[in-house]
Amino acid sequence: MQSTVRLKSAFRHWTYAVFSVLLVTGAAWLVADWRKDADELWQQAAANLLMIHGGAAMLALMALGALIPLHLLRAWRARKNLVSGIVVASVNTVLIATAFGLYYLGSETVRPWMSWIHIAAGLLFALMLPLHIVLGRRARREVVSGASPSPRSLRGEGRGEGLFPPIR
């Protein structure tokens, strides 16, 4: 039986692939940008990596748009994996805002700050997403195995009450 919070495997794997491409191209761009003054090849590599990174970011925005109703709102209502989920969603918001700033703002004063914040948020996301996944799977295994209820469930939390009405 499919959980209301767990994603279907095809969408989950596609989303993991998109975010993996973002991580790899972002990290490779950092190396190429650092080396671009040494050789014209690195300068071309940096430009190509940035183009691929931007294309993958567009796919990631599509994935995030689908994740809001399919995963985020349902998990919020069910009160599942909230802390790491809020961190992941917040880091994504920072990544989107700084990417917008890097692409559309021409200010040479703001650009270095945007770049460093974007890089730091990307690295934090690379750490937080796997943690969020591990915590969610652990909680799901506890429910499936019938492990003793958590203190939250004993207090009546996690039944879908709260900010958003239940999905019907």
* CA gyration radius, the chain: 19
pLDDT tens, residue by residue, 100-113? 999 998 788 999 99
pTM of the model as a whole: 0.80
pLDDT of residue 3: 58
pLDDT over threshold 80, residue 150: no
Which carries the bigger pLDDT value, residue 148 or residue 35?
Answer: 35
pLDDT of residue 161: 44
Can you tell me the distance from the alpha carbon of 23 to that of 122, in angstroms, rounded to the nearest whole number?
Answer: 7
